[in-house]
Each structure stands twice: as structure tokens, then as C-alpha cells.
Amino acid sequence: MDILQTLTTDIGASMKSREDGHELRTSTLRMIKSSVKNAEIAKRGKGDLTEDDIVSILSTMVKQRKESVDQYLAAGRSDLADKENQETGIIQEYLPKQLSPEELDAVIRAAIQETGVTSMKEIGKLMKDLTPKVKGKADGKEVNQKIKQILVGA
């Protein structure tokens, strides 16, 4: 079952549910579906959205929420930060399994060997090879930090 079908099924189940937090879950799932539908409308006439497109949308939503959490915490609004964290958790359920730090390290080291990159000056070449392998499976900031750690030894 693809992500969109799973999402539609889960929205129905969440609406029928009477568990604590089902309102947040339902609104978050609706927000995801709305973002996907908006992307479909924007792409009208250029084919349907692929699973990769949907994963990209979900990854962007997670990134936005993480940035919001940082801003809310800086402003002393832990209540809003908690809500954003809960939404992030719900969105991440629809993303591919995230890579562990060890798995990410192995993928980056393999990409470095494949591309022959030896310094940070060649990071563009490395990212071109690495991005399809980690898309939706790892946070971009985390990937960048790990690359710097490996290449520079920081």
C-alpha cells in the first residue's frame, strides 16, 4: 500500500478513535494529506506524484517542525514546542525507517570511497551521490555534520 492510501485509511481510523490525542493526530494527518494534494495541484499536467515526491514533502514538513521547535524553545514556549514535536512524530511514521548513526556513517563512508572525495571542497560531488541514498532516511544537517566529521576529522 502506498503512502497516500495508508494516510487516507489512517485519517478515517483516527476520526473514529476516541483515544487521547486523536484530535491532534487527525489534524496532523489532514495537514499531511492537504500538503500532498497541494503538491499534486502544483504538478498538474506533469504526471502523478511519486512516492519519492511524497517522501520529499514529508521530509520538508519534519524539517519545518524541527525549526519551529527551536524557535519556540528560544521564545520560552515549551507548550507549542511539545505540539510541534508530537506532529513531527506523527509525520515521521510515514517516512522510511530512519538510518541509525552507525548506518549513516557506513553509507557516507561508502559514498566517499565510491566518489574518491578527499576534502570538503568536493562536497558537492559527494552529495550528488549520497542524496538519493539517504533521502527521507536522515536529516540533512545530520548528514552534513557527519561528512565534516569524517572528512575533516572534526
Mean pLDDT across 129-137: 85
Domain ranges of the chain: 3-92, 101-152
pLDDT tens for 2-22 read 888 899 999 999 888 877 778
Q: Which cell goes with 63?
A: 524539517
Asked whether this chain's domains 3-92 and 101-152 adopt the same fold, the reply is: no
Distances, alpha carbon 21 to alpha carbons 10, 18, 25, 30, 124, in Å? 14, 8, 6, 14, 43
Q: What is the pLDDT of residue 154?
A: 44
With respect to CATH, is domain 3-92 assigned 1.10.1510.10?
A: yes
Mean pLDDT across 104-132: 87
Q: Model's pTM, two decimal places?
A: 0.78
Q: How far apart are CA 87 and CA 25, in angstroms?
A: 7
Stated as kind and residue range, the H or E segment containing 30 is helix 22-42
CATH code for the structural domain at 101-152: 1.10.10.410
